[in-house]
Chain A
Amino acid sequence: MNAITLLRTIALLLALTLGFAAPALAQIADAELSPLVDALAPGNFKDREAAIGILAATGDPRVVPVLEILLEGELYVDEASGKVVFTAASGGKGTISDPVTGAELQSLTEDGLDKVKVNNGLRRVLRTAIGQMTLLSEDPDTRLFAAQSILRDADPAQLELLDSAISAETDANIQRVMQQARAAIILKTPDAAIEDWQAAIPVVQAIGGRDALNTLTTALNTAPDTVKPLIQTAIDGLARDRAVWDVAQNIWFGISLGSVLLLAAIGLAITFGVMGVINMAHGEMVMLGAYTTFVVQEIIRQNFPGLFDWSLAIALPLAFLVTGLIGIAIERGIIRFLYGRPLETLLATWGISLIIQQAVQRIFSANIREVGNPTWMSGSFELGGLAITWNRFYIVIFAMLVFVALLLVLKYTAIGLHMRAVTQNRRMASAMGIRTPLVDALTFGLGSGIAGLAGVALSQIGNVSPNLGQGYIIDSFMVVVFGGVGNLWGTLVGALTLGIANKFIEPYAGAVLGKIIILVLIILFIQRRPRGLFAPKGRSIEA
């Protein structure tokens, strides 16, 4: 037994030297490789270590998955034949398969299998071996991936391996990652040379981000005294960068929240501006828009799964139509009888909101419904130090599009002109031949329709439930009160200001207290500007 171990150790050493000399050995024959893999099973941990070394020395790409599976502790051996195999758990194709050829071994059953055991010492050996095989692999992607994983773990044991890989590396990009990994490792070895430290610190700083900051902070404790000031400067620099990115992140979150508020509030602002009434059922229109999306997705899922990515494009006009028509129905059926009594209108629309909520609850149940994201809206992308999710990004774009479209409608269409006229002076507009009842109905429909669009957008960032609208309605009121009515720009500025202010107060005061502070600030703000930021000027208000 001992003799075998000794022999294998020698073989391992030889193999390792060879491995470094000739990084990529040619692929060897199955018949030769199989016994080497089988050698992983018998003996003690020391024997296994030697077997791993021999396997690694082959440089055969098929060895890497075997070692990785072994590292996870999911490699099995057939007790009778001594053959090492993959099982379903270890990612083999059949239930039990040959690790080298990948062929299914139907003669074997799971009962006869035994786990190939690993301990911590062996795991380290395995990681080194895998790192060596992948770092020196012929495939650049594999090498890059290996370098990144070393950068993450920064295991000092892999320093030598990394050095040889760096010298062999031809791709500049991969070499840079390897250098960064090397620097991270250096920062973990207190007895490294001072020059190495000095060279490593700027490299790590250049990586940037929270991980680099952590690495440097840990290194600060173990580093030689001479380089400590250097590390401190690097940390300060990184912290400054971080602070800047944090501010940017907050602004982005604020814009994202603000655009949601804008979508929810802008319809409210139009109806309030033109008709002087507050639509308490506005939140329910948002909710109906979200449920329209849900229904569209359900139908698509059951009948035309291929169209799923188009579900939003179908839901948007539908939601606009559904909520817009309901809005017109409410205006024609109830609100027009309450003309000139804004407080009664508020109560009546509140009653409508209760009825709609309860009806939706009866139809769709009170449970939360999940609306899926199309593929182009899921995931996120990096912008500098910012992680931006696609759905939030598209909602911001969408909110701006809706805003611009509305602006154009108000400015360049006949109905827009009429709406502005009625906002400024209802009786004069009527005297000039504008049919104010029609304008009222269309305004209410338009406002509700936009709420429906907001619902489609909101379904993409949260769950859909019958009280979805309630969560946004008070915030939307605040936007309208803050921004003033009769001017879309007021709503835009109001929504973005509230969104950003919310996100900036949140880290210091918490979400709930932040909201309270905002509400109190708005109540105080009303003192200065009782009609909001962009109040219409002139005598029309008191008329």
Chain B
Amino acid sequence: MITQALFRALDRKAIWIVAILLAVAILVPMSNLLLPDGHPLRLPNYAVPLFGKYLTFAMLALALDLVWGYCGILSLGHGAFFAIGGYAMGMYLMRQIGTRGVYANPILPDFMVFLNWKELPWYWMGMDNFWFAMLMVVVVPGLLAFVFGFLAFRSRVTGVYLSIITQAMTYALLLAFFRNDMGFGGNNGLTDFKDILGQPVQAGSTRAALFAASAIALALAVLACSMIVNSKLGKVMVAVRDAESRTRFLGYRVEYVKLFAFVVSAIIAGIAGALYVPQVGIINPSEFDPANSIEVVIWTAVGGRGTIIGPIIGGILVNVGKSYFTGAFPEYWLFALGALFVVTTLFLPKGIVGLIGQYRAATTKREQHDRGAPTPQQVEAGTDPQPKPAE
């Protein structure tokens, strides 16, 4: 059955995305590590973690797309799951510093010594084990999403209300993680990482490996999402998005469908966060900022929600643009971002992917027109049914 699902998931588009991602996972590290300095095709050292960061952002956008694009749940708190995954990874990396910290305490991270803590809090236990930490990367965001989603969906909090509540969730976490006595480094967060799995974090080979891991993780996420949306469950998700009450009347347990999508999405976001942290070298509470989570929404929207490829394109494109803008005209970035929100919602409701689809539909239509009158089925296939907005 799984092979069957896998087979169905691997429609032509998904195969292409996965193949490209795997190629990137191999080629980028090779170009950076094997080619000599000065070679025109060699990727400079700084670019590898930068591109790796874009890939984790793309993965976060994909996670949001699964709930928003396919299930109609606009979460304004997905940055929280990303950050929690990041913190879990950060805790592992902190424990790997050992005696190389400023205070040279073999067990306690520097900030705990600084706060005069005598022993490790219970939730830091076991985080020195890589596999346990990775388990937490998946479990903690998943569990938070499960509890939150269970409460919210069961009482039928929908639409704008749900968006606001998710925003409140990430805001509460932002405030909580700013507190020093939470035990997560307060304002400064976790940083000064040294090793990951015994390899120095800063080394070129480690960065290349992290990049490859990000690309592969994104490929796996694409596979998983593609599998889900192409399954029967995926169709029900779309039904929930388009007509929630009707789906409920048909006998589906809408809240469980939503809960499933929300939890899977949170887990993907958590993994993305865990891959993000070693590549940028820091995790701090600002990742919980509600503004960050809303920015993720625009990545997805720009690329095209309700598609697998859209959020990946959007996540990478917007962030490349952001890197360029904040470097070249820092004072205009917020204008550009704000305009992006307005323009996308007004003129590109289906994003870049939708634009391409429209263009293609227009050309086929013209060709058909040239050849003769189109059959109704052809028109149907050419223009995607407008995804009705979630309400």
Of B167, B175, B290, B390, the contact of A343 (CB 8 Å cutoff): B390
Given contacts A276-B160, A526-B157, contact A348 B342 (CB under 8 A): yes
- Nearest CB in chain A to that of B148: its residue: A523
Contact with A along B267-308 (1 / 0, CB 8 A): 000000000000000000000001000100110010000000
Judge whether A527 and B340 touch: CB under 8 Å. Answer: no
- In the bound complex, how far is the Cα of B169 from the Cα of A524, in angstroms? 11
Q: Which of B172, B297, B340, B389 has the most C-beta atoms of chain A within 10 angstroms of its own C-beta?
A: B172
A326 to chain B, nearest CB (A): 14
Given contacts A347-B301, A520-B172, contact A358 B151 (CB under 8 A): no
Q: Which residues of B contact A350 (CB under 8 A)?
A: 294, 338, 341
Judge whether A526 and B335 touch: CB under 8 Å. Answer: no
Contact with A along B166-200 (1 / 0, CB 8 A): 01110110011011000000000000000000000
Judge whether B171 and A519 touch: CB under 8 Å. Answer: yes
- In the bound complex, how far is the Cα of B101 from the Cα of A422, in angstroms? 63
B-side binding surface: helix, strand, loop or mixed?
helix
Judge whether B345 and A348 touch: CB under 8 Å. Answer: yes
- In the bound complex, how far is the Cα of B168 from the Cα of A362, in angstroms? 29
- In the bound complex, how far is the Cα of B391 from the Cα of A514, in angstroms? 32
Given contacts A337-B346, A347-B341, contact A481 B175 (CB under 8 A): no
Of B151, B294, B390, the contact of A347 (CB 8 Å cutoff): B294
A476-491 at interface with B (beta carbon < 8 Å): 477-478, 480-481
Cβ of B337 under 8 Å from chain A: yes
A-side binding surface: helix, strand, loop or mixed?
helix
Cβ of B74 under 8 Å from chain A: yes
Of B155, B294, B345, the contact of A338 (CB 8 Å cutoff): B345
Of B156, B168, B176, the contact of A474 (CB 8 Å cutoff): B168
Q: Which of B164, B301, B331, B339 has the most C-beta atoms of chain A within 10 angstroms of its own C-beta?
A: B164
A505-536 at interface with B (beta carbon < 8 Å): 512-513, 515-516, 519-520, 522-524, 526-528, 530-531
A120 to chain B, nearest CB (A): 41
Cβ of A465 under 8 Å from chain B: no
Q: Which residues of A contact B171 (CB under 8 A)?
A: 474, 519
Cβ of A325 under 8 Å from chain B: no
Q: Which residues of A contact B172 (CB under 8 A)?
A: 515-516, 519-520
B246 to chain A, nearest CB (A): 11
Judge whether A348 and B159 touch: CB under 8 Å. Answer: no
Judge whether B168 and A346 touch: CB under 8 Å. Answer: no
Judge whether B155 and A353 touch: CB under 8 Å. Answer: no
Of A341, A477, A520, A526, the contact of B155 (CB 8 Å cutoff): A526
Of A345, A523, A528, A542, the contact of B168 (CB 8 Å cutoff): A523
Q: Which residues of A contact B169 (CB under 8 A)?
A: 519, 523
Contact with A along B122-157 (1 / 0, CB 8 A): 000000000000000000000000001001101111
B292-349 at interface with A (beta carbon < 8 Å): 294, 297-298, 301, 331-332, 334-335, 337-342, 344-346, 349
- In the bound complex, how far is the Cα of B345 from the Cα of A357, in angstroms? 20
Q: Which residues of A contact B340 (CB under 8 A)?
A: 351
Given contacts A341-B389, A354-B337, A358-B338, contact A523 B346 (CB under 8 A): no
Q: Which residues of B contact A357 (CB under 8 A)?
A: 334
Contact with B along A317-344 (1 / 0, CB 8 A): 0000000000000000010011011111
Judge whether B175 and A516 touch: CB under 8 Å. Answer: yes
Q: Which of A354, A480, A512, A515 has the most C-beta atoms of chain B within 10 angstroms of its own C-beta?
A: A354
Judge whether A354 and B341 touch: CB under 8 Å. Answer: yes
Judge whether A354 and B168 touch: CB under 8 Å. Answer: no
- In the bound complex, how far is the Cα of B161 from the Cα of A342, in angstroms? 11
Judge whether B164 and A278 touch: CB under 8 Å. Answer: yes
- Nearest CB in chain A to that of B156: its residue: A530
- Nearest CB in chain A to that of B332: its residue: A358
Of B151, B163, B342, the contact of A346 (CB 8 Å cutoff): B163
Q: Which residues of A contact B178 (CB under 8 A)?
A: 512
Of B160, B298, B344, the contact of A278 (CB 8 Å cutoff): B160
Judge whether B175 and A515 touch: CB under 8 Å. Answer: yes
Q: List 12 A-B contacts (CB under 8 A).
A: A278-B163, A334-B342, A338-B345, A344-B345, A346-B74, A347-B298, A350-B338, A351-B345, A355-B339, A358-B335, A523-B169, A527-B154
13 further interface pairs, Cβ-Cβ under 8 Å (given A480-B164, A481-B164): A277-B160, A342-B389, A346-B160, A347-B344, A481-B165, A512-B176, A512-B178, A513-B179, A519-B171, A523-B169, A530-B161, A531-B161, A542-B245
